[in-house]
Amino acid sequence: MLYPKSLESLIENLKKLPGVGQKTAERYALSILGLEMDEVSDLAEAIIELKAKIKNCRKCGNLSEDDLCAICQDELRDSSIICVVANTTDTIAMEKTENYHGTYHVLNGLISPSKGVLPDDLNIKSLKERLNDGVEEVIIATNLTVEGDTTSLYLSKLIAMENPEVKVTRIAHGLPVGGHLDYADDLTIIKALEGRFKI
Amino acid sequence: MLYPKSLESLIENLKKLPGVGQKTAERYALSILGLEMDEVSDLAEAIIELKAKIKNCRKCGNLSEDDLCAICQDELRDSSIICVVANTTDTIAMEKTENYHGTYHVLNGLISPSKGVLPDDLNIKSLKERLNDGVEEVIIATNLTVEGDTTSLYLSKLIAMENPEVKVTRIAHGLPVGGHLDYADDLTIIKALEGRFKI
């Protein structure tokens, strides 16, 4: 014998979570067994509700329960600046700094021909529509990877062609705060040198 | 804004799993959002089913969907030997070796006065009943901790008093296979020396 069937079935289901293997799934399943019945039904309900309620914001593609996400609905945000990010998690990281007060545009991916992701698969069409709406600057905040660079290049050319009045910028890459030169990788050092400024 | 409400709620629920903090819960929640609807409902159903179906085996205390667990139902197992373990996970570890063919008795805990766990809180009463049923040997397979030792001592005294004909043994503690003396802790070395045998 190994585990009873319903335990085995939950373990198999939990293994679909990222980075969860057999041992971790066993641990989670046994801990779920140890929860109170109402906690367990809360968990199951939260899983179903999430999938049923969450959709992408019609305007910026961010996750939202409403037609427009909380940021797009917020009239205090500066809608003349759009920060383009790859995923919702990136907007959360930016929001946590409480330093950015513009709006976002979530691409839900990056251009990657090798993975078969082309510009048409991303949330780019609605970005083009937004540009005619008094936007002054688009900040591209994609990662410094091949995909991130490709996407950044594609977007900057597209905007330069169709909306040349819009300024396109990209976030700076360089040494992180508290980072040491001797631990940094080559590309980070090259980017830090490229981005040097007069003091 | 941070996450939409239903996402936030799932994240809070996932944080009840052992070792899952904010970051991991966010990662799990977003990956659940990326699953297909039928996978999501499978997961939610598996969670509810587990709690509804799994109970403790009437005889040995192991997890089971039936009144008796698969091992207690198996007539090929040697019911004259009982291996006493703290938790279901311990029986799984033993079963994976495919080397033990007796039965189990799952205490569902260990005696720990400091945590308020007394013998009456454990699955000991049904063990006493089983001892009159042709049992020849009880193997105590608790860990080498204060709780494990206390439980082992308690059980051995109890059995010696009420069923002196039953042999009580404890699994050996010593160097693990492939373990090096210079990496082993003091207690393991002491136990390995105590348990030395003639070659």
- Mind telling me how many Å the CA of B112 is from chain A's nearest CA? 19
Domain A5-53, what fold? Helicase, Ruva Protein; domain 3 (1.10.8)
**Most A-contacting residue of B50, B64, B98, B101 (CB-CB within 10 A), to test interface:** B50
- Please, what is the Cα angle at B100 between B97 and B102, to 5 degrees? 150
Task: Quote the pLDDT of residue A179.
Answer: 79
* Whole-number pLDDT of residue B3: 84
Give dist(CA A121, CA A137) in Å, integer.
24
More confident residue, A192 or A29: A29
User: Which of A173, A174, A168 lies closest to A155 in space, CA to CA?
Assistant: A168
CA distance A137 to chain B (A): 22
> What pLDDT is stored for residue B164 in this prediction?
92
Q: Which two tokens stand for residue A83?
A: 């920060």
Closest Cβ–Cβ partner in B4, B35, B44 for A64: B4
Closest residue to A17, CB basis, from B13, B28, B46: B28
Contact at CB, B46 and A13, closer than 8 angstroms = yes
Distances (CA, A) of A196 to A145, A151, A199: 21, 24, 9
Query: What is the least distance, in Å, from the CA of B41 to any CA of chain A?
Result: 6
Q: A30 and B89 in contact by Cβ < 8 A?
A: yes
Residue A1 has pLDDT above 80, yes or no: no
Beta bridge pairs of residue A105: A84
In degrees and rounded to multiples of 5, residue A18 shows phi and psi of -65, 130
Chain B positions touching A19 (Cβ under 8 A) are: 27
Residue B62, helix vs strand vs coil: coil
* pLDDT at residue B62, rounded to an integer: 92
Taking 80 as the threshold, does the pLDDT of residue A77 lie above it? yes
Contact B13, B44 (CB under 8 A): no
Q: pLDDT at position B59, please?
A: 92
**Euclidean distance between CA atoms B30 and A132, whole angstroms:** 32
- Its sign, for the CA torsion A30, A31, A36, A37, is negative
What pairing do the DSSP bridges indicate for beta strands A137-140 and A78-85? parallel
Instruction: Give domain limits for chain B.
Output: 5-53, 65-198
> Does the reported pTM lie above 0.80?
no
Residue B31 CA, chain-centre distance (Å), reads: 30
What residues of chain B score a pLDDT lower than 70?
1
State pLDDT tens for residues A90-124.
888 888 888 899 999 999 999 999 999 999 999 99
Per-residue pLDDT, A135: 92
Query: DSSP H helical segments within B35-162, as ranges?
Result: 37-53, 70-73, 88-96, 125-131, 146-162
Across the interface, whether the CB atoms of A43 and B13 are under 8 A apart is answered yes
Rounded to whole angstroms, how far apart are CA atoms A194 and A131? Answer: 29
Are the C-beta atoms of residues B3 and B11 closer than 8 Å to each other? yes
B105/chain A closest Cα distance in angstroms: 15
Asked if B102 and B83 count as a contact pair (C-beta separation under 8 A), the reply is yes
| A161: confidence class by pLDDT, cuts 50, 70, 90 | very high
Residues of B in contact with A16 (CB under 8 A): 31, 35, 39, 43
CATH of B65-198, one of 1.10.1240.10, 3.40.50.300, 3.90.1010.10, 3.40.1360.10: 3.40.1360.10
